[in-house]
Amino acid sequence: MDKYQTTGSHQAARKKFLELSLESTRKSYYPQLQRQLENAKENEKRLQLLIDNLPAQISYVNSEERYVLVNQEFEKSFDRKRDQIIGQRMENILGHKNYNKVKPHIELALSGKSGNFEFSFTTKNKISKWYEIDYVSETDKKGKVNGFYILTIDLTEKKQAEEERLRLKDRLRQAQKMEAIGTLSGGIAHDFNNILSGIFGFSQLVNGHANEPDKVMEYNKKIFEGAQRASSLIQQILSFSRQTKYSKQPISLFHILNEVLGLMRSTFPSNIEIKAVLKSKAMVLADSTQMHQVMMNLCTNAYHAMGYDGGILSVVLDEIALSQEDLSGDLSGCLGKYVKIAVSDTGAGIEDQIKEKIFDPYFTTKKAGDGTGLGLAVVNGIVKKHNGFIDFFSTIGVGTTFQIYLPVITDNAIPLILPEKSKIEQLASSERIMLVDDEQAILETLGALLSAKGFQISTFDNGEAALNAFAKNPDQFDLIVTDMTMPKMTGEKLSLSVLEIRDDIPIIICTGYHENFTESKAMKAGIKKYIQKPVVSSDLSKIIRELLDKE
Protein backbone atom coordinates (compact mmCIF):
# COMPACT_ATOMS: atom_id res chain seq x y z
CA MET A 1 0.00 0.00 0.00
CA ASP A 2 1.17 3.43 -0.84
CA LYS A 3 2.53 5.21 2.27
CA TYR A 4 0.64 8.38 1.39
CA GLN A 5 -2.58 6.39 1.39
CA THR A 6 -1.72 5.05 4.81
CA THR A 7 -0.92 8.51 6.19
CA GLY A 8 -4.17 9.91 4.83
CA SER A 9 -6.15 7.15 6.49
CA HIS A 10 -4.48 7.89 9.83
CA GLN A 11 -5.25 11.60 9.56
CA ALA A 12 -8.87 10.93 8.73
CA ALA A 13 -9.12 8.52 11.66
CA ARG A 14 -7.52 11.09 14.02
CA LYS A 15 -9.91 13.80 12.85
CA LYS A 16 -12.85 11.49 13.36
CA PHE A 17 -11.59 10.61 16.84
CA LEU A 18 -11.25 14.29 17.78
CA GLU A 19 -14.74 15.07 16.57
CA LEU A 20 -16.16 12.17 18.57
CA SER A 21 -14.21 13.25 21.65
CA LEU A 22 -15.36 16.87 21.39
CA GLU A 23 -18.94 15.78 20.90
CA SER A 24 -18.70 13.49 23.89
CA THR A 25 -17.16 16.27 26.02
CA ARG A 26 -19.78 18.75 24.90
CA LYS A 27 -22.58 16.34 25.76
CA SER A 28 -21.01 15.52 29.14
CA TYR A 29 -19.87 18.98 30.36
CA TYR A 30 -21.83 21.61 28.45
CA PRO A 31 -24.95 21.27 30.61
CA GLN A 32 -22.75 21.61 33.71
CA LEU A 33 -21.02 24.72 32.33
CA GLN A 34 -24.36 26.13 31.31
CA ARG A 35 -25.71 25.59 34.82
CA GLN A 36 -22.63 27.26 36.35
CA LEU A 37 -23.01 30.24 34.03
CA GLU A 38 -26.68 30.55 34.88
CA ASN A 39 -25.88 30.26 38.60
CA ALA A 40 -23.27 32.98 38.26
CA LYS A 41 -25.82 35.25 36.59
CA GLU A 42 -28.35 34.47 39.31
CA ASN A 43 -25.78 35.21 42.01
CA GLU A 44 -24.94 38.48 40.29
CA LYS A 45 -28.64 39.40 40.30
CA ARG A 46 -28.93 38.46 43.98
CA LEU A 47 -25.85 40.54 44.81
CA GLN A 48 -27.19 43.51 42.87
CA LEU A 49 -30.59 43.10 44.55
CA LEU A 50 -28.88 42.99 47.92
CA ILE A 51 -26.77 46.12 47.44
CA ASP A 52 -29.68 47.94 45.79
CA ASN A 53 -31.75 47.52 48.94
CA LEU A 54 -29.11 48.64 51.39
CA PRO A 55 -29.77 52.09 52.97
CA ALA A 56 -26.30 53.30 51.98
CA GLN A 57 -24.47 54.25 48.81
CA ILE A 58 -22.25 51.47 47.45
CA SER A 59 -19.93 51.84 44.50
CA TYR A 60 -16.82 50.36 42.96
CA VAL A 61 -14.25 52.55 41.18
CA ASN A 62 -11.44 51.17 39.02
CA SER A 63 -7.81 52.30 38.89
CA GLU A 64 -8.74 54.95 36.28
CA GLU A 65 -11.19 56.52 38.78
CA ARG A 66 -14.17 55.38 36.72
CA TYR A 67 -17.34 53.95 38.23
CA VAL A 68 -17.84 50.24 37.50
CA LEU A 69 -20.66 49.42 39.92
CA VAL A 70 -23.22 51.52 41.83
CA ASN A 71 -26.42 50.73 43.69
CA GLN A 72 -29.86 52.36 43.66
CA GLU A 73 -29.11 54.54 46.72
CA PHE A 74 -26.15 55.99 44.81
CA GLU A 75 -28.44 56.72 41.83
CA LYS A 76 -30.98 58.47 44.10
CA SER A 77 -28.34 60.60 45.81
CA PHE A 78 -26.96 61.90 42.53
CA ASP A 79 -30.32 61.90 40.72
CA ARG A 80 -28.88 59.96 37.75
CA LYS A 81 -29.59 56.63 36.10
CA ARG A 82 -27.01 53.85 36.38
CA ASP A 83 -26.05 53.99 32.71
CA GLN A 84 -25.32 57.70 33.18
CA ILE A 85 -22.84 56.89 35.96
CA ILE A 86 -21.08 53.67 34.91
CA GLY A 87 -17.89 54.47 33.01
CA GLN A 88 -17.84 58.10 34.14
CA ARG A 89 -14.90 59.54 36.05
CA MET A 90 -15.43 60.44 39.71
CA GLU A 91 -14.77 64.14 39.09
CA ASN A 92 -17.61 64.28 36.53
CA ILE A 93 -20.11 62.75 38.96
CA LEU A 94 -19.01 64.45 42.19
CA GLY A 95 -18.29 67.84 40.71
CA HIS A 96 -14.93 69.62 40.75
CA LYS A 97 -15.31 71.21 44.21
CA ASN A 98 -16.40 68.01 45.97
CA TYR A 99 -13.85 65.94 44.05
CA ASN A 100 -11.00 68.13 45.29
CA LYS A 101 -12.17 67.58 48.88
CA VAL A 102 -11.97 63.78 48.59
CA LYS A 103 -8.97 63.57 46.25
CA PRO A 104 -6.47 62.83 49.05
CA HIS A 105 -8.55 59.81 50.06
CA ILE A 106 -8.80 58.62 46.45
CA GLU A 107 -5.01 58.72 46.20
CA LEU A 108 -4.74 56.70 49.41
CA ALA A 109 -7.21 54.11 48.11
CA LEU A 110 -5.32 53.76 44.81
CA SER A 111 -2.09 53.28 46.74
CA GLY A 112 -3.59 50.19 48.40
CA LYS A 113 -4.78 51.72 51.67
CA SER A 114 -8.21 51.62 53.27
CA GLY A 115 -9.77 54.28 55.49
CA ASN A 116 -12.73 56.20 56.88
CA PHE A 117 -13.65 59.89 56.96
CA GLU A 118 -16.58 62.31 57.24
CA PHE A 119 -17.35 64.54 54.33
CA SER A 120 -19.54 67.61 53.74
CA PHE A 121 -21.03 67.34 50.25
CA THR A 122 -22.80 70.07 48.25
CA THR A 123 -25.39 68.76 45.79
CA LYS A 124 -26.06 70.32 42.40
CA ASN A 125 -29.16 71.91 44.02
CA LYS A 126 -26.82 73.69 46.51
CA ILE A 127 -28.00 71.49 49.39
CA SER A 128 -25.41 70.60 52.04
CA LYS A 129 -25.20 66.92 52.99
CA TRP A 130 -22.99 65.11 55.49
CA TYR A 131 -21.62 61.63 54.81
CA GLU A 132 -19.47 59.04 56.54
CA ILE A 133 -17.34 57.26 53.94
CA ASP A 134 -15.44 53.96 54.18
CA TYR A 135 -13.20 52.80 51.34
CA VAL A 136 -11.41 49.46 50.82
CA SER A 137 -8.80 48.84 48.12
CA GLU A 138 -8.90 45.74 45.88
CA THR A 139 -5.58 44.25 44.78
CA ASP A 140 -4.67 41.24 42.62
CA LYS A 141 -2.28 38.40 43.58
CA LYS A 142 0.72 40.49 42.55
CA GLY A 143 -0.38 43.40 44.78
CA LYS A 144 -1.49 45.63 41.91
CA VAL A 145 -4.48 47.87 42.82
CA ASN A 146 -7.42 47.20 40.52
CA GLY A 147 -9.74 49.73 42.20
CA PHE A 148 -11.60 50.30 45.47
CA TYR A 149 -15.01 49.80 47.03
CA ILE A 150 -16.82 52.73 48.65
CA LEU A 151 -19.52 52.57 51.35
CA THR A 152 -21.22 55.94 51.97
CA ILE A 153 -23.66 56.51 54.86
CA ASP A 154 -25.79 59.67 54.95
CA LEU A 155 -25.28 61.50 58.28
CA THR A 156 -27.29 64.60 57.35
CA GLU A 157 -30.33 63.86 59.53
CA LYS A 158 -28.10 62.86 62.43
CA LYS A 159 -26.06 66.07 62.10
CA GLN A 160 -29.18 68.20 61.83
CA ALA A 161 -30.69 66.47 64.87
CA GLU A 162 -27.48 67.11 66.84
CA GLU A 163 -27.45 70.78 65.83
CA GLU A 164 -31.10 71.09 66.80
CA ARG A 165 -30.37 69.40 70.14
CA LEU A 166 -27.59 71.91 70.83
CA ARG A 167 -29.84 74.80 69.82
CA LEU A 168 -32.60 73.48 72.09
CA LYS A 169 -30.13 73.01 74.94
CA ASP A 170 -28.92 76.58 74.47
CA ARG A 171 -32.48 77.94 74.37
CA LEU A 172 -33.37 76.03 77.52
CA ARG A 173 -30.27 77.32 79.28
CA GLN A 174 -31.25 80.84 78.33
CA ALA A 175 -34.79 80.12 79.50
CA GLN A 176 -33.39 78.98 82.84
CA LYS A 177 -31.45 82.25 83.16
CA MET A 178 -34.59 84.22 82.34
CA GLU A 179 -36.53 82.12 84.85
CA ALA A 180 -34.12 83.31 87.55
CA ILE A 181 -34.52 86.91 86.35
CA GLY A 182 -38.30 86.49 86.43
CA THR A 183 -38.11 85.34 90.03
CA LEU A 184 -36.01 88.37 90.89
CA SER A 185 -37.86 90.99 88.82
CA GLY A 186 -40.11 92.21 91.64
CA GLY A 187 -37.19 92.67 93.98
CA ILE A 188 -35.09 94.35 91.29
CA ALA A 189 -37.87 96.86 90.60
CA HIS A 190 -38.14 97.48 94.35
CA ASP A 191 -34.37 97.99 94.64
CA PHE A 192 -34.29 100.34 91.63
CA ASN A 193 -37.10 102.43 93.05
CA ASN A 194 -35.21 102.75 96.33
CA ILE A 195 -32.04 103.82 94.50
CA LEU A 196 -33.90 106.36 92.35
CA SER A 197 -35.73 107.73 95.39
CA GLY A 198 -32.37 108.35 97.04
CA ILE A 199 -30.94 110.05 93.94
CA PHE A 200 -34.02 112.28 93.56
CA GLY A 201 -33.96 113.14 97.24
CA PHE A 202 -30.28 114.05 97.40
CA SER A 203 -30.49 116.08 94.18
CA GLN A 204 -33.28 118.17 95.79
CA LEU A 205 -31.14 118.58 98.92
CA VAL A 206 -28.31 119.90 96.74
CA ASN A 207 -30.63 122.60 95.37
CA GLY A 208 -31.72 123.51 98.89
CA HIS A 209 -28.17 123.87 100.19
CA ALA A 210 -26.50 125.61 97.25
CA ASN A 211 -24.71 128.02 99.61
CA GLU A 212 -23.27 125.24 101.80
CA PRO A 213 -20.36 123.63 99.85
CA ASP A 214 -19.74 120.90 102.42
CA LYS A 215 -23.37 119.79 102.31
CA VAL A 216 -23.39 119.91 98.49
CA MET A 217 -20.29 117.70 98.34
CA GLU A 218 -21.81 115.25 100.80
CA TYR A 219 -25.10 115.01 98.86
CA ASN A 220 -23.26 114.73 95.51
CA LYS A 221 -21.28 111.84 96.95
CA LYS A 222 -24.54 110.11 97.90
CA ILE A 223 -25.94 110.68 94.40
CA PHE A 224 -22.77 109.19 92.88
CA GLU A 225 -22.97 106.15 95.18
CA GLY A 226 -26.61 105.62 94.24
CA ALA A 227 -25.74 105.75 90.53
CA GLN A 228 -22.98 103.19 91.12
CA ARG A 229 -25.45 100.86 92.87
CA ALA A 230 -27.84 101.19 89.93
CA SER A 231 -25.01 100.49 87.47
CA SER A 232 -23.94 97.41 89.44
CA LEU A 233 -27.51 96.12 89.44
CA ILE A 234 -27.77 96.57 85.67
CA GLN A 235 -24.52 94.64 85.10
CA GLN A 236 -25.77 91.77 87.26
CA ILE A 237 -29.04 91.57 85.34
CA LEU A 238 -27.22 91.57 82.00
CA SER A 239 -24.71 88.94 83.11
CA PHE A 240 -27.56 86.52 83.86
CA SER A 241 -29.84 87.33 80.93
CA ARG A 242 -27.38 87.26 78.05
CA GLN A 243 -24.83 84.82 76.68
CA THR A 244 -21.30 85.81 77.56
CA LYS A 245 -17.85 84.44 76.90
CA TYR A 246 -16.28 83.40 80.15
CA SER A 247 -12.74 83.93 81.38
CA LYS A 248 -11.20 82.73 84.62
CA GLN A 249 -9.49 85.27 86.86
CA PRO A 250 -8.27 85.18 90.47
CA ILE A 251 -11.33 86.31 92.47
CA SER A 252 -12.60 86.25 96.04
CA LEU A 253 -15.98 84.59 96.49
CA PHE A 254 -16.45 86.72 99.61
CA HIS A 255 -17.26 89.77 97.46
CA ILE A 256 -19.46 87.82 95.02
CA LEU A 257 -21.50 86.31 97.85
CA ASN A 258 -22.00 89.73 99.41
CA GLU A 259 -23.35 91.04 96.08
CA VAL A 260 -25.67 88.06 95.56
CA LEU A 261 -26.95 88.13 99.14
CA GLY A 262 -27.64 91.85 98.82
CA LEU A 263 -29.76 91.13 95.77
CA MET A 264 -31.50 88.23 97.55
CA ARG A 265 -32.41 90.39 100.54
CA SER A 266 -34.11 92.94 98.30
CA THR A 267 -35.83 90.19 96.29
CA PHE A 268 -37.00 87.37 98.54
CA PRO A 269 -40.21 87.83 100.57
CA SER A 270 -39.86 88.90 104.21
CA ASN A 271 -40.77 85.42 105.49
CA ILE A 272 -37.45 84.12 104.10
CA GLU A 273 -34.77 84.88 106.69
CA ILE A 274 -31.26 85.06 105.23
CA LYS A 275 -28.33 84.15 107.47
CA ALA A 276 -24.79 84.53 106.18
CA VAL A 277 -21.47 83.56 107.75
CA LEU A 278 -18.67 84.56 105.37
CA LYS A 279 -15.32 83.61 106.95
CA SER A 280 -12.97 83.25 103.98
CA LYS A 281 -11.49 85.78 101.57
CA ALA A 282 -9.31 83.17 99.85
CA MET A 283 -8.82 83.47 96.10
CA VAL A 284 -10.05 80.97 93.52
CA LEU A 285 -9.44 80.86 89.77
CA ALA A 286 -12.94 81.39 88.43
CA ASP A 287 -15.23 83.35 86.17
CA SER A 288 -17.17 85.86 88.26
CA THR A 289 -20.30 85.70 86.06
CA GLN A 290 -20.48 81.93 86.38
CA MET A 291 -19.93 82.14 90.14
CA HIS A 292 -22.81 84.62 90.33
CA GLN A 293 -24.91 82.16 88.35
CA VAL A 294 -24.02 79.26 90.69
CA MET A 295 -25.01 81.24 93.76
CA MET A 296 -28.16 82.67 92.20
CA ASN A 297 -29.32 79.20 91.17
CA LEU A 298 -28.64 77.64 94.57
CA CYS A 299 -30.32 80.48 96.47
CA THR A 300 -33.30 80.50 94.10
CA ASN A 301 -33.68 76.70 94.48
CA ALA A 302 -33.56 77.10 98.27
CA TYR A 303 -36.28 79.76 98.09
CA HIS A 304 -38.47 77.52 95.93
CA ALA A 305 -37.92 74.60 98.34
CA MET A 306 -39.33 76.70 101.21
CA GLY A 307 -42.03 78.38 99.11
CA TYR A 308 -44.84 80.42 100.62
CA ASP A 309 -44.33 78.97 104.10
CA GLY A 310 -40.98 80.74 104.38
CA GLY A 311 -37.98 79.58 106.34
CA ILE A 312 -34.27 80.18 106.81
CA LEU A 313 -31.74 80.43 103.97
CA SER A 314 -28.21 79.97 105.30
CA VAL A 315 -25.03 80.69 103.36
CA VAL A 316 -21.63 79.79 104.84
CA LEU A 317 -18.28 80.54 103.19
CA ASP A 318 -15.25 78.83 104.74
CA GLU A 319 -11.95 77.13 103.90
CA ILE A 320 -11.17 73.46 104.35
CA ALA A 321 -8.12 71.25 103.80
CA LEU A 322 -9.19 67.88 102.40
CA SER A 323 -7.09 64.82 103.24
CA GLN A 324 -7.26 61.25 101.92
CA GLU A 325 -9.46 60.29 104.89
CA ASP A 326 -12.05 62.91 103.91
CA LEU A 327 -12.44 61.62 100.36
CA SER A 328 -13.41 58.38 98.67
CA GLY A 329 -14.36 56.96 95.30
CA ASP A 330 -14.15 59.38 92.37
CA LEU A 331 -13.02 62.20 94.70
CA SER A 332 -10.01 60.31 96.09
CA GLY A 333 -7.62 62.48 94.05
CA CYS A 334 -9.12 65.85 95.13
CA LEU A 335 -6.67 66.56 97.93
CA GLY A 336 -5.69 70.05 99.04
CA LYS A 337 -7.14 73.33 100.25
CA TYR A 338 -10.62 74.33 99.11
CA VAL A 339 -13.08 77.16 99.51
CA LYS A 340 -16.34 75.62 100.73
CA ILE A 341 -19.72 77.27 100.13
CA ALA A 342 -22.71 75.75 101.92
CA VAL A 343 -26.24 76.84 100.95
CA SER A 344 -28.95 75.45 103.25
CA ASP A 345 -32.72 75.73 103.38
CA THR A 346 -35.39 74.61 105.85
CA GLY A 347 -37.68 73.30 103.14
CA ALA A 348 -39.38 69.95 102.61
CA GLY A 349 -36.18 68.07 101.69
CA ILE A 350 -35.41 65.78 98.73
CA GLU A 351 -36.94 62.31 98.52
CA ASP A 352 -34.49 59.39 98.34
CA GLN A 353 -35.81 58.08 95.01
CA ILE A 354 -34.94 61.29 93.14
CA LYS A 355 -31.61 62.16 94.78
CA GLU A 356 -29.66 60.50 91.96
CA LYS A 357 -31.53 62.53 89.33
CA ILE A 358 -31.31 66.09 90.65
CA PHE A 359 -28.21 66.97 88.59
CA ASP A 360 -29.66 65.49 85.38
CA PRO A 361 -30.41 68.09 82.67
CA TYR A 362 -34.11 68.98 82.42
CA PHE A 363 -35.07 67.01 85.55
CA THR A 364 -37.42 69.07 87.71
CA THR A 365 -40.01 68.48 90.42
CA LYS A 366 -41.81 71.70 89.53
CA LYS A 367 -45.07 71.85 87.64
CA ALA A 368 -45.00 72.21 83.85
CA GLY A 369 -44.08 75.78 82.93
CA ASP A 370 -42.64 76.57 86.36
CA GLY A 371 -39.07 75.56 85.60
CA THR A 372 -36.67 74.19 82.99
CA GLY A 373 -34.88 71.70 85.23
CA LEU A 374 -31.53 73.18 84.23
CA GLY A 375 -30.61 74.96 87.47
CA LEU A 376 -28.66 72.24 89.28
CA ALA A 377 -27.33 70.76 86.02
CA VAL A 378 -25.86 74.17 85.17
CA VAL A 379 -24.41 74.52 88.68
CA ASN A 380 -22.84 71.07 88.48
CA GLY A 381 -21.36 71.77 85.03
CA ILE A 382 -19.87 75.11 86.10
CA VAL A 383 -18.34 73.67 89.26
CA LYS A 384 -16.72 70.81 87.33
CA LYS A 385 -15.29 73.25 84.76
CA HIS A 386 -13.65 75.07 87.68
CA ASN A 387 -11.98 71.84 88.90
CA GLY A 388 -14.31 71.66 91.87
CA PHE A 389 -17.04 69.32 93.03
CA ILE A 390 -20.49 69.51 94.60
CA ASP A 391 -22.05 67.51 97.42
CA PHE A 392 -25.42 67.64 99.18
CA PHE A 393 -27.41 66.07 101.98
CA SER A 394 -31.12 66.31 102.64
CA THR A 395 -33.61 65.18 105.27
CA ILE A 396 -37.35 65.02 104.62
CA GLY A 397 -39.13 67.68 106.66
CA VAL A 398 -35.86 69.29 107.82
CA GLY A 399 -34.23 70.75 104.70
CA THR A 400 -31.35 70.48 102.24
CA THR A 401 -27.74 71.66 102.12
CA PHE A 402 -25.64 71.98 98.97
CA GLN A 403 -21.87 72.21 99.40
CA ILE A 404 -19.60 73.61 96.68
CA TYR A 405 -15.85 72.98 96.84
CA LEU A 406 -13.47 75.08 94.70
CA PRO A 407 -9.66 74.82 94.90
CA VAL A 408 -7.85 77.71 96.57
CA ILE A 409 -5.05 79.26 94.53
CA THR A 410 -1.81 80.28 96.19
CA ASP A 411 -0.43 83.81 96.22
CA ASN A 412 2.18 82.70 93.66
CA ALA A 413 -0.59 81.91 91.18
CA ILE A 414 -2.10 85.40 91.38
CA PRO A 415 -0.59 87.82 88.86
CA LEU A 416 0.42 91.05 90.57
CA ILE A 417 -0.26 94.03 88.34
CA LEU A 418 0.54 97.42 89.81
CA PRO A 419 -0.56 100.61 88.08
CA GLU A 420 2.10 102.96 86.85
CA LYS A 421 1.56 106.04 88.99
CA SER A 422 3.24 108.36 86.58
CA LYS A 423 0.73 107.49 83.86
CA ILE A 424 -2.33 107.53 86.09
CA GLU A 425 -1.56 110.70 87.99
CA GLN A 426 -0.27 112.77 85.10
CA LEU A 427 -3.58 113.09 83.28
CA ALA A 428 -3.29 116.71 82.22
CA SER A 429 -2.93 116.83 78.47
CA SER A 430 -3.79 118.76 75.36
CA GLU A 431 -4.56 115.86 72.99
CA ARG A 432 -7.58 116.21 70.72
CA ILE A 433 -10.46 113.84 71.46
CA MET A 434 -13.50 113.15 69.27
CA LEU A 435 -16.50 112.33 71.50
CA VAL A 436 -19.52 110.78 69.72
CA ASP A 437 -22.85 110.00 71.42
CA ASP A 438 -26.51 110.60 70.57
CA GLU A 439 -27.32 111.34 74.24
CA GLN A 440 -26.85 115.05 74.84
CA ALA A 441 -26.42 114.65 78.60
CA ILE A 442 -23.45 112.33 78.03
CA LEU A 443 -21.84 114.72 75.57
CA GLU A 444 -22.20 117.63 77.99
CA THR A 445 -21.01 115.87 81.14
CA LEU A 446 -18.20 113.77 79.68
CA GLY A 447 -17.09 116.63 77.44
CA ALA A 448 -16.84 119.02 80.40
CA LEU A 449 -15.11 116.48 82.68
CA LEU A 450 -12.53 115.50 80.03
CA SER A 451 -11.94 119.17 79.17
CA ALA A 452 -11.18 119.73 82.85
CA LYS A 453 -8.41 117.14 82.49
CA GLY A 454 -6.83 119.26 79.76
CA PHE A 455 -8.06 117.38 76.67
CA GLN A 456 -9.40 119.29 73.65
CA ILE A 457 -12.87 117.85 73.08
CA SER A 458 -14.93 117.90 69.85
CA THR A 459 -18.43 116.50 70.34
CA PHE A 460 -20.75 114.94 67.72
CA ASP A 461 -24.29 113.66 68.28
CA ASN A 462 -24.31 111.17 65.40
CA GLY A 463 -21.89 108.90 63.55
CA GLU A 464 -22.36 110.44 60.09
CA ALA A 465 -21.35 113.92 61.23
CA ALA A 466 -18.36 112.50 63.08
CA LEU A 467 -17.20 110.51 60.05
CA ASN A 468 -17.55 113.52 57.73
CA ALA A 469 -15.46 115.67 60.08
CA PHE A 470 -12.80 112.97 60.40
CA ALA A 471 -12.64 112.34 56.64
CA LYS A 472 -11.97 116.05 55.95
CA ASN A 473 -8.94 116.11 58.25
CA PRO A 474 -7.95 112.71 59.71
CA ASP A 475 -4.93 114.14 61.54
CA GLN A 476 -6.89 116.65 63.61
CA PHE A 477 -7.86 113.96 66.18
CA ASP A 478 -5.62 111.88 68.45
CA LEU A 479 -8.31 109.49 69.79
CA ILE A 480 -12.00 108.70 69.34
CA VAL A 481 -14.56 107.80 72.05
CA THR A 482 -17.85 106.62 70.51
CA ASP A 483 -21.15 105.19 71.62
CA MET A 484 -22.23 101.91 70.01
CA THR A 485 -25.98 102.25 69.39
CA MET A 486 -26.81 105.48 67.53
CA PRO A 487 -29.29 106.46 64.79
CA LYS A 488 -28.04 106.66 61.17
CA MET A 489 -24.67 105.05 61.89
CA THR A 490 -23.61 102.67 64.66
CA GLY A 491 -20.36 103.02 66.55
CA GLU A 492 -19.15 99.79 64.91
CA LYS A 493 -19.69 101.17 61.38
CA LEU A 494 -18.15 104.52 62.33
CA SER A 495 -15.07 102.78 63.78
CA LEU A 496 -14.55 100.55 60.76
CA SER A 497 -14.92 103.51 58.38
CA VAL A 498 -12.47 105.60 60.40
CA LEU A 499 -9.91 102.76 60.51
CA GLU A 500 -10.10 102.43 56.73
CA ILE A 501 -9.02 106.07 56.49
CA ARG A 502 -6.44 105.96 59.27
CA ASP A 503 -5.65 102.58 60.80
CA ASP A 504 -3.42 103.85 63.64
CA ILE A 505 -5.95 106.00 65.53
CA PRO A 506 -7.00 104.52 68.91
CA ILE A 507 -10.76 104.05 69.31
CA ILE A 508 -12.71 103.44 72.52
CA ILE A 509 -16.22 102.10 72.02
CA CYS A 510 -18.81 102.45 74.81
CA THR A 511 -21.94 100.32 74.96
CA GLY A 512 -24.82 99.87 77.35
CA TYR A 513 -25.85 96.50 75.94
CA HIS A 514 -25.34 94.91 72.55
CA GLU A 515 -25.92 91.24 71.71
CA ASN A 516 -23.96 90.96 68.47
CA PHE A 517 -21.01 93.33 68.83
CA THR A 518 -18.87 91.67 71.49
CA GLU A 519 -15.54 92.71 72.97
CA SER A 520 -13.66 90.04 71.00
CA LYS A 521 -15.28 91.23 67.75
CA ALA A 522 -14.28 94.81 68.59
CA MET A 523 -10.67 93.81 69.25
CA LYS A 524 -10.47 91.90 65.95
CA ALA A 525 -11.78 94.98 64.11
CA GLY A 526 -8.90 97.08 65.48
CA ILE A 527 -10.79 98.92 68.24
CA LYS A 528 -8.48 99.42 71.23
CA LYS A 529 -10.94 99.41 74.13
CA TYR A 530 -14.48 98.13 74.70
CA ILE A 531 -16.11 99.47 77.87
CA GLN A 532 -19.55 99.15 79.42
CA LYS A 533 -21.74 102.12 80.20
CA PRO A 534 -22.20 104.00 82.44
CA VAL A 535 -18.72 105.46 81.98
CA VAL A 536 -17.02 107.13 84.95
CA SER A 537 -14.96 110.07 83.70
CA SER A 538 -11.98 109.33 85.95
CA ASP A 539 -11.78 105.75 84.61
CA LEU A 540 -12.18 106.97 81.04
CA SER A 541 -9.40 109.53 81.54
CA LYS A 542 -7.02 106.82 82.69
CA ILE A 543 -7.86 104.61 79.70
CA ILE A 544 -7.37 107.54 77.29
CA ARG A 545 -4.03 108.40 78.89
CA GLU A 546 -2.81 104.78 78.67
CA LEU A 547 -3.81 104.46 75.00
CA LEU A 548 -2.23 107.77 73.99
CA ASP A 549 1.01 106.95 75.82
CA LYS A 550 1.25 103.68 73.87
CA GLU A 551 1.14 105.49 70.53
> Confidence band (pLDDT; 50, 70, 90) for 361?
low
Is the residue at 112 inside a domain? yes
Encode pLDDT of 270-309 as tens digits: 788 999 999 988 899 988 877 887 888 888 888 888 877 8
Statement: residue 241 has pLDDT above 60 = no
> Confidence band (pLDDT; 50, 70, 90) for 315?
very high
Encode pLDDT of 32-70 as tens digits: 556 655 665 666 666 666 677 777 888 899 999 999 888
Mean pLDDT score, 217-236: 75
Question: Do residues 437 and 483 make contact, with C-beta atoms less than 8 angstroms apart?
Answer: yes
Statement: residue 344 has pLDDT above 90 = yes
Both 326 and 359 in one domain: the answer is: yes
End of a domain among 389, 417, 445?
A: 417
Average pLDDT, the chain: 78
Statement: residue 383 has pLDDT above 70 = yes
Q: What is the CATH number of the domain that holds 119?
A: 3.30.450.20
- The pLDDT value given to residue 339: 92
Both 350 and 456 in one domain: the answer is: no
- The pLDDT value given to residue 183: 52
Encode pLDDT of 493-514 as tens digits: 999 999 999 999 999 998 876 5
End of a domain among 125, 154, 183?
A: 154
- The pLDDT value given to residue 39: 62
Nearest to 282 by CA among 263, 257, 305: 257
d(C-alpha 480, C-alpha 466), whole Å: 10
Both 458 and 483 in one domain: the answer is: yes
d(C-alpha 287, C-alpha 282), whole Å: 15
Is the residue at 160 inside a domain? no
Is the residue at 325 inside a domain? yes
CA distances from 365 to 301, 350, 370, 374 (A): 11, 10, 9, 12
| DSSP 8-state secondary structure symbol assigned to residue 279 | -
The residue type found at 265 is: R
Is the residue at 492 inside a domain? yes
What is the percent of the chain where pLDDT is above 90?
19
| Residue 526: partners with Cβ closer than 8 Å, 6 or more residues away | 495, 499, 503, 507
Is the residue at 195 inside a domain? no
Is the residue at 342 inside a domain? yes
d(C-alpha 467, C-alpha 460), whole Å: 10
- The pLDDT value given to residue 427: 45
Both 318 and 446 in one domain: the answer is: no
Is the residue at 175 inside a domain? no
**Could you tell me the residue range of the domain that residue 90 belongs to?**
57-154
- The pLDDT value given to residue 418: 38
Q: What is the CATH number of the domain that holds 539?
A: 3.40.50.2300
- The pLDDT value given to residue 314: 93
Both 404 and 296 in one domain: the answer is: yes
Pairing of strands 432-436, 479-483: parallel
Number of domains in the chain: 3
Both 472 and 326 in one domain: the answer is: no
Both 360 and 473 in one domain: the answer is: no
Both 412 and 446 in one domain: the answer is: no
End of a domain among 127, 154, 181?
A: 154
- The pLDDT value given to residue 172: 67
d(C-alpha 157, C-alpha 340), whole Å: 45
Both 410 and 440 in one domain: the answer is: no
**Strand-pair partners of 496:** none
Statement: residue 174 has pLDDT above 60 = yes
Both 307 and 322 in one domain: the answer is: yes
Q: What is the CATH number of the domain that holds 403?
A: 3.30.565.10
Is the residue at 178 inside a domain? no
d(C-alpha 489, C-alpha 462), whole Å: 7
Statement: residue 140 has pLDDT above 70 = yes
Both 257 and 402 in one domain: the answer is: yes
> Confidence band (pLDDT; 50, 70, 90) for 424?
very low
- The pLDDT value given to residue 354: 76
Encode pLDDT of 451-482 as tens digits: 888 899 999 999 999 999 999 999 999 999 99
Pairing of strands 311-322, 389-395: unpaired
d(C-alpha 181, C-alpha 178), whole Å: 5
